Amino acid sequence: MRRINWPLRQHDQPEFLLSLIVQKYGGSSLADAESIKRVARRIVETRRAGNEVCVVVSAMGDTTDELLDLAEEVSPLPPGREMDMLLTAGERISMALVAMAIANLGHQARSFTGSQAGVITDSSHGKARIIDVTPGRIRDALAEGHVAIVAGFQGVSQDSKDITTLGRGGSDTTAVALAAALEADVCEIYTDVDGVFTADPRIVPAARKIDRLSNEEMLEMAASGAKILHLRCVEYARRFGMPIHVRSSFSYREGTWIIDPEEGVSVEAPIIAGVAHDRSEAKITVVGVPDHPGKAAEIFQACAKAGVNIDMIVQNVSAVETGLTDISFTLPKTDGQHGVQALKAVQESVGFASLQYDDHIGKLSLVGAGMRSHPGVSATFFQALADAGVNIEMISTSEIRISVVTRDDQLDDAVRAVHTAFGLDSAEGEAVVYGGTGR
């Protein structure tokens, strides 16, 4: 990795080798004309410090929601191709405005759509996957000393040449993918908080900013409900070894670095990275399933066919006298109705007795790579929950994560108890506002 030049705000003389930085600004950093001008100043500072800068932008503030409303007024079930064509107008607007604001500061900037930037995807409208990134025009713009502004969230289908979108969190993925293709030194994800925290500061005022996370830990945090970075973006960064720096566009503080320790280098990482929580899931319990081989498979195949994503699964021990068992699983609340319908359709063939649907659950996850070598973690974890009077309904674990499902009204207490039990509380609460990163 080349040395990165941080903005030298006093004397604008680059002192180091030229670095290439990819910056991503989310919708909350681009809410209005004033925000766009502020972001432009920040980009120009990075450029003046002697770096090459490629910027990925989301749509401004509420643009995407406004476009979705318009689509809904016109058609209840719009074709994916046209929905993508519509939504990509949002980034087109913000990227042109950011480029204008940079030009107004006397620097040269050129904006590029996802297609122009060479973001090649498959044809799955609304949730396309990036197949390849061929950023020839970006390289040319950078070589000519321009700042390149790229529309996040969008690409062009390899087969049909149609415009595609990458789905929720897509702009983060665009940034990391571009950074990898350009062999950038770092991918900076700008948001409205100072970085990744040990817990949601709205729930745990004593939560601390995490200085450094491994990709593995960030993946588990993202999968467990930490909204600051999208899962796919972290997966991409891990695959290409691209360091991510999550930081605030409202301050110059160091944020959270997501970077794997170099091989052979011993890192004294803390045992626990943080506590994530998630209120977006519901629980379905399939009651009275015949305890025969293949019945669980039938149930989950029905869900898969309906496009329902399953998270945690628990199967009770079968009651010997009845030969029946219960299977519970969690799924996104937004998939709830689909899931219930899909299961009702197979009730007769599977032969289960009834369905229970519960959308008052919460999920808490404790994440940390250090857990691997510290066998006492589980004990401390469950003791903390017990002391706080939290009832546990489901448990699931990975090598570096423990997750539990609780009643939703006990979730905040649970998060605070676990956060304190693992010594994550800071001496004094940091004043931060926690929010999403847009798309």
Question: Which of these ranges, 10-18, 64-72, 284-292, 399-407, lies near a copy of itself under the rule CB under 8 A?
Answer: 64-72
Interacting positions 3-62 with a copy of itself (CB under 8 A): 33, 36-37
Q: Which residues contact 73 (CB under 8 A, 6 or more apart)?
A: none
Q: Does 121 bind a copy of itself (CB under 8 A)?
A: no
Q: Are 114 and 154 in contact (CB under 8 A)?
A: yes
Q: Which is nearer to a copy of itself, 74 or 395 (CB)?
A: 74
Which has the closest alpha carbon to 300: 351, 333, 343, 335?
343
Q: Are 164 and 87 in contact (CB under 8 A)?
A: no
Measured between alpha carbons, how far is 320 from 100 in angstroms, rounded to an integer? Answer: 72
Q: Which residues contact 355 (CB under 8 A, 6 or more apart)?
A: 284, 285, 286, 287, 340, 343, 344, 347
Q: Binding a copy of itself by CB under 8 A: which of 10, 77, 106, 159?
A: 77
CA angle 92, 226, 152 (to 5 degrees): 15
Measured between alpha carbons, how far is 267 from 220 in angstroms, rounded to an integer? Answer: 19
Element (H, E) at 327: strand 324-332
Q: Does 100 bind a copy of itself (CB under 8 A)?
A: yes
Which has the closest alpha carbon to 126: 90, 79, 176, 75?
79
Q: Does 99 bind a copy of itself (CB under 8 A)?
A: yes
Q: Binding a copy of itself by CB under 8 A: which of 2, 31, 82, 205?
A: 82
Question: Which of these ranges, 78-86, 230-238, 266-274, 358-366, lies near a copy of itself under the rule CB under 8 A?
Answer: 78-86
Interacting positions 144-203 with a copy of itself (CB under 8 A): 161
Q: Does 86 bind a copy of itself (CB under 8 A)?
A: yes
How many C-beta atoms surround the C-beta of residue 12 within 10 A?
13
Q: Does 95 bind a copy of itself (CB under 8 A)?
A: yes
Question: Which of these ranges, 81-89, 164-172, 315-323, 364-372, lies near a copy of itself under the rule CB under 8 A?
Answer: 81-89
Number of residues that bind a copy of itself (CB under 8 A): 37
Q: Does 427 bind a copy of itself (CB under 8 A)?
A: no
Question: Which of these ranges, 92-100, 179-187, 378-386, 403-411, lies near a copy of itself under the rule CB under 8 A?
Answer: 92-100
> What residue ranges bind a copy of itself (CB under 8 A)?
33, 36-37, 67, 70-71, 73-79, 81-83, 85-86, 88-90, 92-93, 95-97, 99-101, 103-104, 109-111, 116, 137, 161
